[in-house]
Amino acid sequence: MEDMLTTDYDGCGRCLVGVRRLSRKTDATNSPKRQADQILRATEDVGGHIVAWADDWEVSGATDPLTRRGFGPWLRGEMGPYDGIAAATVDRVGRNVRDTLNTQALLTGQGRVIVTADHVGVWDFSDPNQENEWLIKAWGSQMELRAIQKRNRDEAVRARAAGEPKQRPSYGYMYVRRAPKAKIDHVAIDPVAAQIIREVAQRILSDETGKITCATEAARLTREGIPCPSDRLRQLYDRPMKAAPWTAKAVKHILCSEAALGYLIHNERPVIGSDGRPVRIADPLWDRATHDALVKKTAPKRNGSRAPKSTQLLSGIAFCGNCGARLHVTGRYGCIARVRGIPASAHCKPAPIMGLTALDALVSEWFLSRYGAGEVMRKVYDPGTGHAAQIAELTATRTRLREDRQAGLYDDPEEAEWFRTEYRRIGEEIATLKALPERKPGMRMVPTGRTIAQEWGAGDSVKRREMLAEFEVRVVLHPTGHDPRVAITGMEISTDGIELTG
């Protein structure tokens, strides 16, 4: 239906934009076609024609029309000439009285007309009766919206109390139903998404260069064509994907959310059950110790360094031999610090320049000759035993129970007995965990059976740049005539594989 026929704008006074909106759209939905048929009939009845379609699929009626993806640009005057709009009903324009009246006032003030299939002819807002009819329809739409919102809130409260998931599953999980469109039976780990996000977590935790971040991982996932969370959900439900990019914010939210521990979440916090503990609805993607490490590792840094945004091989690790500034990457590597007016580079003449392919080839040859025969040792983050994190979580639960008791929540005799039993049990668990040996988290090296040359050959420029950063490779480019023209240094490795200072 997105390919509905349109005609060119001819200034006839009835060149209309067809406005369609739907809160939820699936392959089985017939509302888009029904709305289109109604709009075409209403447009034909007033002697008009459709010049474009402003479609907003999966957009709530509570959304301000000015901010809608399809309709908003037309209202803001960003889409070219038109004489007015045509919609199936008033509630397709908006389901909020204020927004609907504002949209009508905006269009009328611009001299544009409004046509809806639930009204005969063009709306004439100079007629008090038609103005009141528009207001009544807008009010009815808002009342219906509020009723829907209340039902949704009540259902969300009921689901939380029953320990049932209500909203869309967190990335890494999926809902399991016994039959299509049946009630959710349970929440399970999505093996595809879980593998992807676990790899992201492992890469960020094992990075010691500071060059693998939520932003670089979002760029990598997008570059590799891995569906973003919303597209993965569409994929699970066999809906068309939108090829939306990953964002650093989304990656960090998934990594740091306690939903990854398998908890039922409300307002970004775990729902607490009757036993005073978070309600668990699925197996965790990782343990509490790993969660705490991810929160710490992805926290904002203020050390002045950042991961390079460019995908070029030597971005961020190639420097000028004259002034020491980082080389600028355009169609070649070159120093532009003097041109930018940096005082320390005032005497950088002549500025060194070399083609991308030539310098990349020199560095690649040097790197492979020096490290290529070595075995790739994968850094794996070991969260340790995690006893300290468990103790901290149990202590927080016990503190919360104690504060609730002090507030008078467990004064009833039966509740008081439950409180004493639960408080004692948590204390015993804490004592048991404290008696166990603690293994601190850290990195350990795991052989992969692949050589560095093989890993280099299979990787793209960003993966190769990560390898260069791991080996602390630094490239210094001098002007033509200097000997050596290119100076490359890197980490010294002993014959037994132990890293030496270099």
DSSP code per residue over 317-352: TEEETTT-PBPEESSEEE--TTTTT-GGGTT--SPP
Categorize the per-residue pLDDT at 306 as very low, low, confident or very high, splitting at 50, 70 and 90. Answer: low
Per-residue pLDDT, 500: 31
Per-residue pLDDT, 334: 93
Hey, which residues does 18 pair with through a beta bridge? 53, 86
What percentage of the chain carries pLDDT values higher than 70? 94
Tell whether the model's pLDDT for residue 2 goes beyond 50. Answer: no
Per-residue pLDDT, 497: 44
Q: What is the mean pLDDT of residues 89-102?
A: 92
Per-residue pLDDT, 191: 94
Per-residue pLDDT, 302: 62
Evaluate whether 86 touches 19 at the Cβ level (below 8 Å). Answer: yes
Per-residue pLDDT, 496: 43
What does the DSSP assignment read for 164-202? ---SPPPTTEEEEESSTTPPEEEEEE-HHHHHHHHHHHH
Per-residue pLDDT, 305: 59
Strands 318-320 and 328-329, bridge-based pairing: unpaired
Residue 446's Cβ-side half-sphere holds a number of Cα atoms within 13 Å equal to 9
Looking at per-residue confidence, does 440 or 151 come out higher? 151
Categorize the per-residue pLDDT at 309 as very low, low, confident or very high, splitting at 50, 70 and 90. Answer: low
Would residue 77 be called left, alpha or beta, if left means φ above 0 and alpha means ψ between -120 and 50 degrees?
A: left
Per-residue pLDDT, 152: 80
What is the pLDDT of the chain when averaged over all its residues?
Answer: 86
Q: Please, what is the Cα angle at 454 between 365 and 367, to 5 degrees?
A: 25
Buried b / exposed e along 289-324 (16+ C-beta atoms within 10 A): bbbbbbeebbeeeeeeeebbeeebbbbbbbbbbbbe
Per-residue pLDDT, 1: 41
Categorize the per-residue pLDDT at 492 as very low, low, confident or very high, splitting at 50, 70 and 90. Answer: confident
Per-residue pLDDT, 498: 36
Categorize the per-residue pLDDT at 29 as very low, low, confident or very high, splitting at 50, 70 and 90. Answer: low
Per-residue pLDDT, 307: 60
Per-residue pLDDT, 25: 63
Tell whether the model's pLDDT for residue 28 goes beyond 70. Answer: no
Categorize the per-residue pLDDT at 115 as very low, low, confident or very high, splitting at 50, 70 and 90. Answer: very high
Distance CA 351, CA 335 (A): 6
Which range has the worst mean pLDDT, 25-34, 91-100, 209-218, 325-334? 25-34
Nearest to 77 by CA among 53, 110, 100: 110
Considering all CA atoms of the chain, what is the largest pairwise distance in Å, rounded to the nearest integer? 92
Q: What is the mean pLDDT of residues 418-428?
A: 87
Per-residue pLDDT, 303: 58
**Which of 239-253, 287-301, 308-322, 367-381 is modeled with the greatest confidence?**
239-253
Per-residue pLDDT, 159: 74
- Token duo for residue 342: 């940096």
Contacts 24+ apart (CB under 8 A), 410-415: none
- Token duo for residue 425: 């049990």
Alpha helix stretches (DSSP H) within 88-180: 90-93, 97-109, 128-161
Which range has the worst mean pLDDT, 30-34, 49-53, 198-202, 240-244? 30-34
Q: What is the mean pLDDT of residues 108-129?
A: 94
Can you tell me whether residue 500 is helix, strand or coil? strand
Which range has the worst mean pLDDT, 98-102, 193-197, 303-307, 349-353? 303-307
Strands 269-270 and 265-266, bridge-based pairing: antiparallel
* Cα-to-chain-centroid distance, residue 192: 17
Q: How far is CA 484 from CA 321, 323, 477, 488, in A?
A: 10, 16, 9, 10
* Cα-to-chain-centroid distance, residue 155: 27
Per-residue pLDDT, 27: 45
- Token duo for residue 456: 């280099």
Categorize the per-residue pLDDT at 74 as very low, low, confident or very high, splitting at 50, 70 and 90. Answer: very high
Looking at per-residue confidence, does 249 or 409 come out higher? 249
Query: 354: how many CB neighbours lie within 10 A of its CB?
Result: 20
Which range has the worst mean pLDDT, 9-23, 162-176, 217-231, 488-502? 488-502
Tell whether the model's pLDDT for residue 499 goes beyond 60. Answer: no
Per-residue pLDDT, 494: 53
The sign of the CA dihedral 188, 191, 195, 196 is negative
Tell whether the model's pLDDT for residue 357 goes beyond 60. Answer: yes
Looking at per-residue confidence, does 142 or 1 come out higher? 142
Domain ranges within the chain, ordered by starting residue:
15-144, 173-297, 318-379+445-500, 385-439
Which range has the worst mean pLDDT, 270-279, 284-293, 398-407, 464-473? 270-279
Which range has the worst mean pLDDT, 81-90, 163-172, 312-321? 163-172
Q: Please, what is the Cα angle at 327 between 321 and 330, to 5 degrees?
A: 140
Tell whether the model's pLDDT for residue 13 goes beyond 80. Answer: yes
Buried b / exposed e along 432-458 (16+ C-beta atoms within 10 A): ebeeeeeeebeeeeeeeeebbbebbee
Per-residue pLDDT, 30: 52
Tell whether the model's pLDDT for residue 460 goes beyond 70. Answer: yes
CATH class belonging to 173-297 = alpha beta
Phi (first) and psi of residue 481, to 5 degrees: 100, -20
Distance CA 116, CA 139 (A): 16
Q: How far is CA 184 from CA 171, 180, 188, in A?
A: 17, 10, 11
Alpha helix stretches (DSSP H) within 7-127: 31-45, 72-75, 90-93, 97-109
CATH class belonging to 15-144 = alpha beta
Tell whether the model's pLDDT for residue 120 goes beyond 70. Answer: yes
